[in-house]
Structure 1
Amino acid sequence: MGKIGFDNEKYLNMQSEHIRERMAQFGGKLYMEFGGKLFDDYHASRVLPGFQPDSKLQMLLKLKDQAEIVIAVSASAIDQHKKRGDIGITYDQEVLRLIDLFRSVGLYVGSVVITQYQGQQSADGFIKRLGDLGVAAYRHYMIEGYPANIPLIVSEDGFGKNDYIPTERSLIVVTAPGPGSGKMATCLSQLYHEHQRGIKAGYAKFETFPIWNIPLKHPVNLAYEAATADLNDVNMIDPFHLEAYGKVAINYNRDVEIFPVLQTIFKTISGTSPYQSPTDMGVNMAGNCIFDDEAVKKAAREEMIRRYYIALCEQKKGKENKAEISKLEMLLNQEGLSTADYAVAVAAKTTEEETGEPAAAIELPDGRIVTGKNKALLGAASAMLLNALKVLADIPDDEHLLASEVIRPVQELKVNYLGNHNPRLHTDEVLVALSVSAASNENAKKALDCLPMLKNCNAHCSVILSSVDTDIFRRLRINLTCEPKYQNKKLFHNN
């Protein structure tokens, strides 16, 4: 966790006002594609330190009386059980979670649209489940030659085949569990159908990344490419913007490819297009709210390395992602980065080399790095966690937060009754033991009170951790990475 470099309050005010201006420009209905995540936008908060994960939500709440949510999820993502990596749940589960979250803050969710539909049974099953839960669901089909075959796309055999999504309010926010969900196509399809019904409607795009008014090779924009390496998104200078205005603006390949389709749809509706470039479509004000460029660059470079480690570990676990890894290596080389530039990775590997045991390291908010290694009672991640809390609570290193008489009964439960072969305590077990000890041990209580201070800290382990440990770090909002290797040479690993 480094210095703050982004003014979140300025962002909320500037962004909501700019969206109001765009709504006024069109009148009638405005379909607004929301890229990234409305809730829990941890990527943005990591690369723009100071950006709050719920910033987009807070901004949208200023407009909630006019807003209606439509959630798009691709049938292929459902069929492939694609997961949202930062919270570890599948896209269809994330749709349900988003509906609950939107409703809990008073936002109206109108429907769910299944995009890129080709008759997948898993998608049909999810549509039925939504219906059973009282949520309206619609199908949008794959269109041959999309997005290049414009005559087909803008016809009864293209967008015309899609289900029309009835909407009630003036601002239709189209969001999704993750990238590649078909949000833009959903908006364009709705524009086509609204025109067929004689309803006035417009389109705008709210995509945080890439940031259009910072350089193409700025680390924040490169970090976006790293985050979407599996989709092979490519940042580029917007050629339409350059031609129309003689000014450089940054966009990405999918928006540039789809722009002629959007222009054709607008011309079909009103005889002219309100936009001269894909950048014109956007309403993103994030670039205007960066006040410490060096802090933002540092955070973005760290994110690029984290993405690389995550991809390497996914490959070790059996994922076929050579192209993704090659893309990430290219981006790191482009920025002159390597894993040697990631302080916690260097510390963890050095400790492992010195001790001969798996090790972990975490960088505290003040820049100090604390390590931990495998012990008889604790795994490396658990030892690191306790050591970090002791440092934050100013507790001497030789002071034990957990007495052996507290740890051993937990070990006996694991081995003798729950069938575990590894007696060392995982991080969840350590935190429970620490909570119990806090009732009678003042130091344990002081250490436990410091737990929130680990939020947004970087941590690294010299071996792949169990799913239990990675889930705890995710819940604590610690940015965890691991070396792409297992502690032992067994063929089966419970990830």
Structure 2
Amino acid sequence: MRVGFDNDKYLETQSLHIRERIAQFGGKLYLEFGGKLFDDHHAARVLPGFAPDSKIKMLTQLKDQVEIVIAINAADIEKNKVRGDLGITYDVDVLRLIDAFRGMGLLVGSVVITRYAAQSAADVFQHRLEDLGIKVYRHYSIEGYPHNIPLIVSDEGYGKNQFIETARPLVVVTAPGPGSGKMAVCLSQLYHEHRRGVKAGYAKFETFPIWNLPLNHPVNLAYEAATADLNDVNMIDPFHLAAYGVTTVNYNRDVEVFPVLSALFETITGESPYKSPTDMGVNMVGSCIVDDDVVCAAARQEIVRRYYEALCDRREGRGSDEAVYKLELLMKQAKVDASIRPVIAASLAVAEETGAPAVAIELPDGRVVTGKTTDLMGASAGALLNALKTLAGIEKAVHLISPDAILPIQKVKVEHLGSSNPRLHSDEVLIALAISATSNPVAAKALDQLARLRDCQAHATVILSATDSAIYKKLGLQMTCEPQYETNKLYHR
């Protein structure tokens, strides 16, 4: 994979910039942390060279100064809101995040339940956290938020919120997902700190859109593609342009709320430290791009992938026409179509020839291999084996796994595990390959190629099963699917 982003430079410059911002506010900074801290695979896809855990590694460089507060919306607890990428509820993700932060040696000071209104599920979750020894605070809804500034900045507004006790100079406020109230938590803390005579500041860490790239740069368009269902729109920051005569990029929600934020700052501290939404940010990602052609190509691929993802979401009843239409417009803006993914045409050709689902994988050197549906295994499993054979220089006709070894597995699936599909899925084939590798040097040679599949492009002519989709994701393959199922059944597992 060609590299377009200098990750080492990013770790160094980003931590330095945050230290400077802490000093700017006299030694106490509340940093709203947007996006994913541990597994930012979107950033890794559109900025080749960016490590998915870069942001958390950057924070570990500041771990003696940083304390983490996790915000979760009480309404999200009540309705069991689920993280689409992980398939777990937001409250469970809070526990996952705490374990992950602690595993990196970072201090998790507390959890704050926002928009609390005596929801029973929120009470249960609070008791569960407290039984685990975790401090929990409650913040409340404020009528007319964020425009009723006299009420917000009063004893009946922020004053009603419980003050979160913190001990470190950098307080990172993060959350399981959007809509958790991170910004409100930060501003509430500023209000309480100011009343206590403590000087403190606020800043925002959002990776995208990248403020010092052009508005229609493919990386910024890819961000719009990733948030098509949220109606986020990139736009020129008019406040920054007016204040400095410099064109920068922000997104609609921050631009729309900035006048209110500025007024809140003035009411809380007497003056606003920022002249624009861009000023609030501390993001240094744009300064670490070292090959614009590489990141542009990667971002265009991401836009097309997001388009196919939206098509499949709509087919599965989880998406909307509006998201699909927006992605079609973004593809036109980026001047791309499905032809930039050779795996699409290759898989469709095999499906047409065989009359059954097919999968194609593009290898790091540009070669495209395919897998078809057979009596022994599904197309996704076949494509994986063929890709591993090609990478290892093994003839396609060579059996890595003996058919005689596959038949007993199929018998167990159908006769004992209740499966109606005897074909092996990707995970079952990989396990069988690993067993075969213990006695077959050729299979071992193929198995050694697994790491080389990371970041390869892939396409399926049908929506993959959850099992196959999960395996492709774990291997790091960048997958798209046609928005159709293998069968015409109403229920699909």
* TM-score in same-fold range (> 0.5): yes
Give the 3 Å change call, closer, same or farther, for CA 261–194 of structure 1 in structure 2. farther
Code of the residue aligned with 1:349 in structure 2: it is: L
Structure 1: distance between partners of 2:313 and 2:115: 26
Structure 2: distance between partners of 1:485 and 1:382: 19
Q: Is 1:109 aligned to residue 108 of structure 2?
A: yes
Give the 3 Å change call, closer, same or farther, for CA 299–180 of structure 1 in structure 2. farther
Q: Give 1:83 deviation, angstroms.
A: 3.4
Residue aligning to 1:368: 367
Residue aligning to 2:385: 386
Give the 3 Å change call, closer, same or farther, for CA 314–79 of structure 1 in structure 2. farther
Aligned length: 493
Residue aligning to 1:285: 284
Give the TM-score normalised by the residue count of structure 2: 0.96
Code of the residue aligned with 2:153 in structure 1: it is: V
Structure 1: distance between partners of 2:111 and 2:365: 44
Bigger Cα displacement from structure 2, 429-438 vs 2-11: 2-11
Structure 2: distance between partners of 1:210 and 1:386: 38
Q: Give 1:334 deviation, angstroms.
A: 2.2
Give the 3 Å change call, closer, same or farther, for CA 333–151 of structure 1 in structure 2. farther
Q: Give 1:327 deviation, angstroms.
A: 2.3
Q: Give 1:153 deviation, angstroms.
A: 2.6
1:173-209 residue CA offsets vs partner (Å, 9 max, x unmatched):
1112233322212111111122222222101111111
Structure 2: distance between partners of 1:234 and 1:443: 51
Structure 1: distance between partners of 2:148 and 2:203: 22
Bigger Cα displacement from structure 2, 375-384 vs 313-322: 313-322
Residue aligning to 2:73: 74
Q: Give 1:417 deviation, angstroms.
A: 0.3
Code of the residue aligned with 2:464 in structure 1: it is: L
Q: Give 1:445 deviation, angstroms.
A: 0.5
SS of the equivalent of 1:481 reads: strand
Give the TM-score normalised by the residue count of structure 1: 0.96
Residue aligning to 1:481: 480
CA contact (8 A) 2:153 2:268 kept: no
Give the 3 Å change call, closer, same or farther, for CA 124–478 of structure 1 in structure 2. farther
Structure 2: distance between partners of 1:137 and 1:462: 48
Structure 1: distance between partners of 2:471 and 2:125: 29
Give the 3 Å change call, closer, same or farther, for CA 40–390 of structure 1 in structure 2. same
Q: Give 1:320 deviation, angstroms.
A: 4.7
Residue aligning to 1:398: 397
Code of the residue aligned with 2:302 in structure 1: it is: E
Residue aligning to 2:24: 25
Residue aligning to 1:333: 332
CA contact (8 A) 1:359 1:372 kept: yes
Code of the residue aligned with 2:7 in structure 1: it is: N
Code of the residue aligned with 2:72 in structure 1: it is: V
Give the 3 Å change call, closer, same or farther, for CA 434–9 of structure 1 in structure 2. same
Q: Give 1:308 deviation, angstroms.
A: 1.8
1:79-131 residue CA offsets vs partner (Å, 9 max, x unmatched):
44433333333322222111111101110001112234444433333223222
Q: Give 1:403 deviation, angstroms.
A: 0.5
CA contact (8 A) 1:147 1:257 kept: no
Give the 3 Å change call, closer, same or farther, for CA 368–17 of structure 1 in structure 2. same
- Counting only pairs closer than 5 Å after superposition, residues 304-323 of structure 1 correspond to structure 2 as 304-323=303-322
Q: CA RMSD in A?
A: 1.7
Bigger Cα displacement from structure 2, 104-113 vs 224-233: 224-233
- Counting only pairs closer than 5 Å after superposition, residues 192-341 of structure 1 correspond to structure 2 as 192-341=191-340
Code of the residue aligned with 1:251 in structure 2: it is: N
Q: Give 1:339 deviation, angstroms.
A: 2.9
Bigger Cα displacement from structure 2, 71-80 vs 426-435: 71-80
Structure 2: distance between partners of 1:123 and 1:343: 48
CA contact (8 A) 2:310 2:319 kept: no
Code of the residue aligned with 1:330 in structure 2: it is: L
SS of the equivalent of 2:229 reads: coil
SS of the equivalent of 1:230 reads: helix
SS of the equivalent of 1:72 reads: strand
Code of the residue aligned with 2:282 in structure 1: it is: V
Structure 1: distance between partners of 2:145 and 2:322: 23
Residue aligning to 1:7: 6
Give the 3 Å change call, closer, same or farther, for CA 233–274 of structure 1 in structure 2. same
CA contact (8 A) 1:180 1:231 kept: no
Bigger Cα displacement from structure 2, 452-461 vs 371-380: 452-461
Unaligned runs of at least 5 residues, structure 2: none
Code of the residue aligned with 1:215 in structure 2: it is: P
Give the 3 Å change call, closer, same or farther, for CA 16–144 of structure 1 in structure 2. same
CA contact (8 A) 1:393 1:447 kept: yes
Give the 3 Å change call, closer, same or farther, for CA 221–371 of structure 1 in structure 2. same
Structure 2: distance between partners of 1:211 and 1:187: 22
Structure 2: distance between partners of 1:287 and 1:230: 25
Q: Give 1:163 deviation, angstroms.
A: 2.5
SS of the equivalent of 1:361 reads: strand
SS of the equivalent of 2:297 reads: helix
Structure 1: distance between partners of 2:328 and 2:387: 31
1:217-244 residue CA offsets vs partner (Å, 9 max, x unmatched):
1111111111122221111111110111
